[in-house]
Amino acid sequence: MNIREISRLCGVSVCTTSRILSGQSKKYRICEATANRVRKAAKKLGYRPNYLAHSLNKGQTHTIGLIMANTVDLYLGSIMEGVEDRLRSTEYRMVVATCENSLDLQDREIERMLYRQVDGIILYPKAIPATQSYRLPVPLNTVRKLTPFVIVGRNLPGKYNEVMTADVEAGQAAAAYLADRGGTHFGMIAPAEECSSTLARRRGFLQELKRRGVPEQQVFYWRADRKLDKKNARLITACDAIFGINSNCLLKVLESLPPADPRKFKLASVGLVEGQSLLNLDLRTWLLPGRQMGHLAAEMLLKHIADPGQPLRHVELPLLIRG
């Protein structure tokens, strides 16, 4: 069953039927009664749109590329759910790729998306050191208009639509929480890669401690990928308050410490800790609003596809407190 047959059965033009079934009846001021009659007939007859023909006609593939630098965990999975939730009511669908934390693989996946002529790309990028210059690959098909990007979660050099989290404020809130709980000697545990979000949380944490008059020598910084020798283990256990810039790296370091009761520490971290209520730790976590980020990123991208000339946006979403 095609549009021409539905048009004949409903007694309307092929153009009118096409506009109704593509969701544009209001745009073209088509009578609601006519629109309902066509939609009911299409449903009854089992009509399915031919997206290939539609794409050729409009010059769009109605696909969105979603590229994740890392393996998809709970956080990145929630971003994906948010993107899918926003696209569900549209003609657009996702094409997903993961990059195993490799910059070369990320660039290749971007180029593959561009070859497929996706209408836009949402990218959770690999962490790029501040000393390294980097630019996204340019579209290989220069005849086609530039493919719009939305960057999620980590900053990249250049100007793009961006959906980020309020990481500086999260670091400040964690420092205030630990200090208000009586902390005097502070540990700060960071992941291996010092991406923009890690650096921002660290900056906010140090800013708040400095504002409260905490001396620098009472703050110990440690990266979770380094070997934890006896000296540094003693420095960490000498702290009474610890901030995990990332919850996973915090738990990894706590697990590596010499036998000690982890309940002696006042703890704060960013990111979901599964089974937190069962751990019996003095732990406050700030949760990343992944689903909301994905939803907003897809919304930004759809608007930019519809109107490429609109100004770029940078949005920071607050983190959610748990525990």
Q: What percent of the chain has pLDDT over 90?
A: 52
Predicted local distance difference test score (pLDDT) of residue 24: 77
Determine the Cα–Cα distance for residues 129 and 135; give it in Å rounded to an integer.
13
pLDDT tens digits, residue range 196-225?
A: 899 999 999 999 999 999 999 999 999 988
Specify whether 231 is located in the same domain as 314: no
Determine the Cα–Cα distance for residues 269 and 178; give it in Å rounded to an integer.
11
Q: What is the mean pLDDT of residues 184-205?
A: 92
- pLDDT for residue 14 is more than 50: yes
202 or 19: which carries more pLDDT confidence? 202
C-alpha distances (whole Å) from 170 to each of 173, 178, 222, 249 are: 5, 12, 19, 17
Is residue 308 in a domain? yes
Structural domain including 93 reads 58-166+290-318
Q: CATH number of the domain at 67, please.
A: 3.40.50.2300
Is residue 323 in a domain? no
CB 124 within 8 A of CB 69: yes
Query: Coil, helix or strand for 271?
Result: coil
Determine the Cα–Cα distance for residues 130 and 122; give it in Å rounded to an integer.
22
Residue 15's nearest CA partner among 5, 4, 23 is 4
- pLDDT for residue 89 is more than 90: no
Q: CATH number of the domain at 14, please.
A: 1.10.260.40
Q: What is the mean pLDDT of residues 32-48?
A: 87
Q: Residue 107: what residue type?
A: D
Is residue 235 in a domain? yes
- pLDDT for residue 156 is more than 50: yes
Is residue 111 in a domain? yes
Determine the Cα–Cα distance for residues 12 and 28; give it in Å rounded to an integer.
14
Torsion over CA: 127, 130, 136, 137 (sign):
negative
Specify whether 9 is located in the same domain as 19: yes
Specify whether 180 is located in the same domain as 123: no
129 or 271: which carries more pLDDT confidence? 271
Determine the Cα–Cα distance for residues 299 and 90; give it in Å rounded to an integer.
11
Q: Name the DSSP letter for residue 148.
A: P
Query: Coil, helix or strand for 57?
Result: helix
Predicted local distance difference test score (pLDDT) of residue 278: 59
pLDDT tens digits, residue range 228-287?
A: 888 888 889 899 999 999 998 998 888 888 766 667 899 999 998 877 665 778 899 999
- pLDDT for residue 28 is more than 90: no
- pLDDT for residue 29 is more than 60: yes
